[in-house]
Amino acid sequence: MVVLPGDIERTSMAIIQAELSEMGIEVAPENRAVILRCIHASADFDYAGNLFFTPDACRLGAEALKRGTPIITDTNMSLAGISRAGLKKLGCGAFCFMADEAVAERAREEGTTRAAAAMDYACREYPGAVLAVGNAPTALLRLAEHIEAGYVPALVLAFPVGFVHVVESKEKIAAVCQERGIPLIAAMGRKGGSTIATAALNALIYTAADMLEPGKRGWT
C-alpha cells in the first residue's frame, strides 16, 4: 500500500498521465504541470480540455515568480493553500485583502463587492503582480477594467466558479489579456474555484523553485 505523501503524489500523477493517454489526450509539455495539478486537486479530467493558456503563460508566470513577484489572491482560502516552502525559496510575498477593513469600507461606500474593492487596492498598491482569482467574477471583471486602463499584471489566473457572471468574466478577461499581451491561465466555462486556482499557482511556484518532484519539498 502506498502511504507516504511523496509516493502518493507520484502515484497519483502517474495514474493521471496514464488515464489521459488512454483517453487519447496529449498535454502540451509547457502546460503539463498546471494541467496535472488541477486534475490532481479535483479528480476532474475536464481540466485537460477547459484550461486556456495564452502563449508562454506558464513560462512567463514561472519567470515572474523567480523574480520574487508578489502574489494576490481573491480569497483567504487560496492564500492559505499556497506553498509556504515555495514562497520562501522564491522570496515572494502572497496577500489577500478581502478581510481588510479599509477595503470593506470602500465597498460599502461605492455599493460594490469586497472582491472588486480588493482588486482596486491590489492594482493600486501592487503593480505587476501575479493575480489569482478563484472565486469572485466581480474581481475578474474589475481587473479587466484596470488592464484596459493600463495596469499590467505579470500573470492572471482566472478560475471563478459558479453560475452568475462566471462565464462572462472569463471571456472578458481572456479577450482583454490577449489584446494587451498579458499572460493568462483560465478555466473556461463554469468550473474552477479557489482550490483549483491554488493548484495552478502551486504548479507554477514548484516549477519556478525546482520543486515539482515531491522529494525536493522534503517529502519522502
Looking at the DSSP assignment, which residues form a beta bridge with residue 187?
51
Query: Which pLDDT score is estimated for 2?
Result: 73
Query: What mean pLDDT comes out for the span 180-201?
Result: 98
Q: Are 67 and 205 in contact (CB under 8 A)?
A: no
Q: Give Cβ neighbours of residue 203 (< 8 Å, ≥ 6 apart).
A: 33, 34, 36, 37, 38, 58, 212
Amino acid sitting at position 87: L
Give the rounded percent of residues in the chain with a pLDDT score beyond 70. 100
Strands 130-133 and 94-96, by their bridges, are unpaired
- Residue for grid cell 478555466: 187
As a CATH number, domain 5-217 is 3.40.50.10230
Three-class HEC string of 206-218: HHHCCCCCHHHHC
List pLDDT tens digits, range 69-124.
999 999 999 999 999 999 999 999 999 999 999 999 999 999 999 999 999 999 99
Q: Are 116 and 133 in contact (CB under 8 A)?
A: no
Catalytic residues: 40
Domain locations along the chain: 5-217
Query: What mean pLDDT comes out for the span 8-32?
Result: 96
Amino acid sitting at position 88: K
Total-model pTM = 0.96
